[in-house]
Chains A and B, each alone.
Chain A
Amino acid sequence: MMAAVGAPEVISQLESAAKVLMAPPSMVSTEQRQHAEHIFLSFRKSKSPFAICKHILETSKVDYVLFQAATAIMEAVVREWILLEKSSIESLRTFLLTYVLQRPNLQKYVREQILLAVAVIVKRGSLDKSINCKSIFHEVSQLISSGNPTVQTLACSILTALLSEFSSSSKTSNIGLSMEFHGSCKRVFQEDDLRQIFMLTMEVLQEFSRRENLNAQMSCVFQRYLALANQVLSWNFLPPNLGRHYIAMFEATQNVMLKPTESWRETLLDHRVMDLFFTVHRKIREDSDMAQDSLQCLAQLASMHGPIFPDENAQVTYLAHLVEGLLSMINGIEIEDSEAVGISSIISNLISTFPRSVLTALPNELFASFINCLTLLTCSFGRSAALEEVLDKDDMVYMEAYDKLLESWLTLVQEDEHFPRGCFVQPAVQVFNSYIQCHLAAPDGTRNLTANGVASHEEEEINELQEDDRELFSDQLASIGMLGRIAADHCIPLLTGLLEDRVTRLHGQLQRHQQHLMASADPGTVERKVLDDLYEDIHWLILVSGYLLADDPQGETPLIPSEVMEYSIKHSTEVDINTTLQLLGSPGEKATSIPGCNRTDSVIRLLSAVLRTSEVESRATRASLTELLSPQMGKDIVWFLRRWAKTYLLVDEKLYSQISIPLSTAFGADTEGAQWIVGYLLEKVINNLSVWSSESELANDTVELLVTLVEKRERANIVVQCENWWNLAKQFASRSPPLHMLSSTVQRTLMKALVLGGFAHMDSDTKQQYWAEVLHPLQQRFLNLINQENFAQICQEEAVKQEIVATLEALCGIAEATQIDNVASLFSFLMDFLSSCIGLMEVYRNSPETVNLIIEVFVEVAHKQICYLGETKSMKLYEVCLTLLQVYSKNNLGRKRLDVAAEEDQYQDLLLIMELLTNLLSKEFIDFSDTDEVFRGQEQSSGAGRPVSAADVVLYGVNIVLPLMSQDLLKFPSLCNQYYKLITFICEIFPEKIPQLPEELFKSLMCSLELGMTSMSSEISQLCLEALSPLAEQCAKTQEKDTPLFIATRHFLKLVFDMLVLQKHNTEMTVAAGEALYTLVCLHQVEYSELVETLLSNQRDAVIYQRLADAFNSLTASSTPPTMDRKQKVAFLKSLEEFVANVGGLLCVK
């Protein structure tokens, strides 16, 4: 009652503060606003505000003040739970509920906040045996049976508040409860209360679904209960034994599948539940908002799995009922736009949830109708998705639905051996056909046609950030490709026919253009529409063919898909091999003009259709029609050829149980076919690189095809036999046009490919000659240049600068080509350059762009090679890197620049340097070096094994760059992250090095840690906390007092203590901070006790004092005296969570 004294003043103060906050921005100043916010903040923190809050709720007319009063009650109840009488908590809850009931006209947000307070009280009390909050369900069910819509809405709000409070972990840190507490509450709740809520909800839905006419108010209540049902069915059931660390992870999952516990069996396996939702959906499906909820409920039911099913039979019965319901719901209705996503979710959930054995156990007819329905829906959604694209709609509901269904198909057919043989062939044909149709132009297809058949064609600006279709639609294409394999008999010839036709038309069209150009010589009059339509057709046909014929698994050798292999084998008896080879070898001719072209292998014919496209493109470039061509089509072609080559070129018979003769004859090892195609691809690459230097993406795809050709030894062996390869190498080495016009990344990759090719099998003379053509010119030109006497004078001349830049780019490319079997020779080659590069750092100290590139060379070499290097070689690399850093530091310390780019330049340099140091450090945990193997005969045992540690080098490096790292530079997030990652690494891996650091470096390192802990993002803060434990352990090991590190850790003890005990912090951080605190406490027990004493002595309130003292006692009870013992540490961390939950909030009270 004390607090009620002066209540009118408090209320009027709060009310005027609310007025300020609610005023339009122009009416009040920022200071006024902040002041008003502060008033509310301190009000909410006030001690035992219950009486005054009640008073406010009963008297104030200002909604915002009511809202704040409810919040204050909620926060205070949790904060002071232990201090409160249970009966007063109970009466508080009753008061709040009655309050809301008696005021039906409360603002919605005030009402919700009061109900949230009720829910929080119920939750906080649910594990407290001394208080019973269960009566709330009884009260709610009475409200529901009242039949009064307003009261029923209120009842729904109460249930919703309870549900969100018990379900969501994001709320926990707000009221200061531990993960474990949250988990236990949730488990108790989901066994009993949640089911009660569900039953109440079902009753309401049943009631409403029976009624004939619903007025607006009733249908609103209906909608709220439907949403509530959806919330229950989307409940993320917590399994019985889940450790506290997993709870957070578990709670974060989205798209929860329904996995109820066994106790729900009777409730959810009752068919009437599912039937009710089908009935409800039928009733409300025209209301798009409600339909989404009802379909979502059904989708959740379709995802049901786990212990709720006693056996497989129960699953089959359940699924059969679901599928029957679904079919009868869909059949005979015109699907609304708003239903598409929901219906496809139901299907995709049931296909991904129920095991194949359950699907196949469905009655045959039912299964067949289901597949039939799925096929029709897929085709129909696909067509609607295409329409959405034409209309450029923002909300692509059909595209989303189509994606889901295609994904379901992929799931189904990937395990098609479980299903009756061939049962998916006809559906696959239909889905495949409709996809192709939607992507081809009229008359064959419907691309860009609106619903009434009008063509729309507009040219939009496309920027480089937009993904290529092959990535953007990769999921769709993977499904369509898979379906194409299932129905290979239909799909492969279809694609071949369409592609051959388009290529013939493209050829004709280009020829007409050429004649036209020769006649009028005015390219401006060329009509692009016909060409663009052909390009777009070819684009999609090539993408689908690529996905059908081959996979692109990262890192493994892709195999020819078994369906494609079987298809080729099945028809191999009807195939004439020679005609097939002739067809393959004559990309310049029309396929149909070759006699007997119908007796060729279809898989090879599809490839050769792409080669024909490629040939038309190449010929057009030779006829100077490049401007008419589509760079996109050029990309498609080389993308396809790369994907194809990885899988089919030099097919390795050992990897297959059966092999197609046409495929092995055409592309096997030691075949003329393989040689021919390598030569053809090489020619294509060379042509592209000279014609398309201005299209960097196409040039990039092209050079990646070249890398694919040489990165495997077997393929490279054939490549280096081609004269064209040598020409390419010579041309690149001579830096003559057109290759030097390529962008720098393409040039690097080209260099990489040329180096990789050098490790192919060649006789030693040839090999020597190859290196003499490829690498030696680089070295020679470079040495000639930098050894000129007047190099310092001419170094700024453009020709010289360009030569230097080209050399540095080439070095990066060479480093990228590093593999375990070539590292020995590449390392020696690159080392010579690295020393010279240091000299260049001096010469070009004023050209930031060159300096940056030089550092990048070092980063690349360290990145690619350090893990393979033995001791002596590593030492060499360390040394040269250190020299680089010294020179960099000397040239940049104290330097001041005028231009706006100065900071950006320095940022880029430092980022690279951090990367270099991290790369060097990585040697400590990734080390493949085996001196005997890799450097046989090269590595001399160097003296008495000097102890080389990357740490020395890296610390020395940090010492050099640290003075350059300004606080401003740390504002670049990527630089900041890289920096803190590096220093945490150092502390974790080499804590023993830290005490030996030079004083200045040590100081700045400790400053960095403190800065990172206190004023950076929580991610950085966590990194710094992780660095503390190893440092403290290091101190404990040496047992030396009064070392700088010992003193520093004492300071950190106070920081971490304050952070954990006094400041509001992120719960995620509790673990990292707790571990740090524990090791620090072990080290500084006396200081810790002092900290606790000081804190306690500041408490004037005897109750709080006692509570705090108890909490501190139990915090260390399990670990007295604290020692660096894992078991004790774990016990401490556990008590710490309780500590934070119990008193964390208390200490923040002012």
Chain B
Amino acid sequence: MADPDLDFTSGDAGASTTYPMQCSALRKNGFVVLKGRPCKIVEMSTSKTGKHGHAKVHMVGIDIFTNKKYEDICPSTHNMDVPNIKRNDYQLVDISEGFLSLMMDNGDVREDLRVPEGDLGKEIESKFAASEEMLVTVLSAMGEESAVAVKPMTK
């Protein structure tokens, strides 16, 4: 989705977007890649086939960008991919044509992120219209980015 030319997070260019982890070491509320999508684990349980069988892990995850639900089951010895997750707060400076203008720490402004859909987007727009100052949290994982939270500026 993101235009590579507009990638400002140059610090980790080329770094892997995921890393492997043994299934049994994953935890609820943590993250995992299910069906190729970065997910937050909302449910985790184990089972086995027969009393002397080996553990299998059953996971239910929610796509952190689309909120879609995914499930998977695999032997607990397997390695799963875990997405690298980043969250950054930026100050909102403008909204134009459905895109947010966000000021980065170094003073640069990026304008590549859409106003999110639904209630959060409406909240951002109405607060912006009321000229309230606010911070927008941007979540990024596996090359995708999205605004996920908003908070009024303190101080």
Contact = CB atoms under 8 A, between A and B. Distances in A.
Nearest to B25: A741
Interface string B51-86: 111110000001010010000000111000010111
Contacts of B23: 694
Contact of A798 (B84, B148, B150): B84
Nearest to A469: B51
B3 interface: no
Nearest to A538: B52
Contact of B52 (A536, A895, A902): A536
Counting chain A residues whose Cβ lies within 8 A of the other chain, the interface size class is: 35 or more
B149 A460 contact: no
Contact of B116 (A460, A852, A894, A898): A898
B48 A696 contact: no
Interface string B129-153: 0000000010000000001111110
Contact of B40 (A744, A798, A901): A901
B84 A463 contact: no
Most B-side CB within 10 Å, residue of A742, A897, A908: A897
A793 interface: yes
A497 interface: no
B24 A741 contact: yes
Most A-side CB within 10 Å, residue of B24, B27, B86: B24
Most B-side CB within 10 Å, residue of A460, A740, A796: A796
A239 B29 CA distance: 55
Interface string A619-632: 00000000100111
Interface in B1-21: 11-12, 19
Nearest to B82: A798
A846 interface: yes
A462 interface: yes
Contact of B29 (A693, A694, A848): A848
B62 A901 contact: yes
A539 interface: yes
A852 B88 CA distance: 18
Contacts of B51: 462, 532, 535-536, 539, 630, 632
A743 B30 contact: no
B104 interface: no
A631 B52 contact: yes
Contacts of A905: 29
Nearest to B154: A890
Nearest to B75: A694
A904 interface: yes
Interface string B33-60: 0000000101001111111111100000
A631 B54 contact: yes
A848 B53 CA distance: 35
A896 B149 contact: yes
A1080 B52 CA distance: 64
Interface string B112-134: 00001011100100000000000
B42 A846 contact: no
Contacts of B48: 461-462, 631
A486 B35 CA distance: 59
Interface in A896-938: 896-902, 904-905, 908
Given A796-B86, A846-B87, A901-B42, A695 B64 contact: no
Contacts of A627: 54
B35 to A, nearest CB: 17
A749 to B, nearest CB: 15
A849 B29 contact: yes
B24 A897 contact: no
A160 B110 CA distance: 82
Most B-side CB within 10 Å, residue of A535, A891, A898, A901: A898
Interface residues of B, number: 49
A556 interface: no
Interface string B84-95: 111111000000
Contacts of A1040: none
A896 B150 contact: yes
B147 to A, nearest CB: 8
A744 B22 CA distance: 12
A1000 interface: no
Given A459-B53, A796-B86, A904-B42, A744 B27 contact: yes
A627 B23 CA distance: 16
A461 B49 CA distance: 5
Given A849-B29, A896-B120, A463 B45 contact: yes
A697 B23 CA distance: 14
A798 B19 contact: yes
Contacts of B120: 896-898
Most A-side CB within 10 Å, residue of B51, B84, B88, B151: B51
A961 B151 CA distance: 17
Contacts of A631: 48, 52-55
Contacts of A898: 116, 118-120, 147-149
B24 A632 contact: no
B111 to A, nearest CB: 20
A740 B21 CA distance: 10
Given A694-B76, A743-B25, A633 B52 contact: yes
Contact of B22 (A632, A693, A796): A693
Nearest to A905: B29
Most B-side CB within 10 Å, residue of A630, A697, A852: A630
Interface in A85-137: none
A464 interface: yes
A797 interface: yes
A974 interface: no
B25 A897 contact: no
Interface in A663-688: none
Contacts of A536: 51-52
A189 B29 CA distance: 61
A601 B53 CA distance: 35
A701 to B, nearest CB: 13
A454 to B, nearest CB: 19
Contacts of A852: 29
Contact of B152 (A459, A460, A632, A894): A894
Most B-side CB within 10 Å, residue of A632, A852, A896: A896
A996 interface: no
A692 to B, nearest CB: 9
A902 B55 CA distance: 30
Nearest to A634: B52
A697 B75 CA distance: 15
A536 B51 CA distance: 8
B55 A695 contact: yes
Interface in A724-758: 740-744
Nearest to B86: A796
Contacts of B11: 793
B62 A900 contact: yes
Contacts of B75: 694
Contacts of B148: 897-899
A477 to B, nearest CB: 16
Contact of A899 (B45, B62, B85, B150): B62
Given A694-B54, A898-B149, 20 more contacts: A459-B53, A462-B50, A462-B51, A463-B47, A535-B52, A630-B52, A632-B52, A694-B55, A741-B25, A744-B25, A796-B85, A796-B87, A797-B12, A798-B84, A846-B89, A894-B151, A895-B150, A895-B151, A901-B29, A905-B29
16 contacts: A461-B48, A463-B45, A531-B52, A539-B51, A694-B55, A695-B76, A741-B25, A744-B27, A796-B87, A798-B82, A798-B84, A846-B87, A899-B40, A899-B148, A901-B29, A904-B42
Interface of A: 459-465, 531-532, 535-536, 539, 627, 630-633, 693-697, 740-744, 793, 796-798, 846-849, 852, 890-891, 894-902, 904-905, 908
Interface of B: 11-12, 19, 22-25, 27, 29-30, 40, 42, 45-55, 62, 64, 67, 75-77, 82, 84-89, 116, 118-120, 123, 137, 147-152, 154
Which are the 7 A-B pairs with shortest beta-carbon distances?
A630-B52, A846-B87, A459-B50, A694-B76, A895-B151, A898-B120, A694-B77
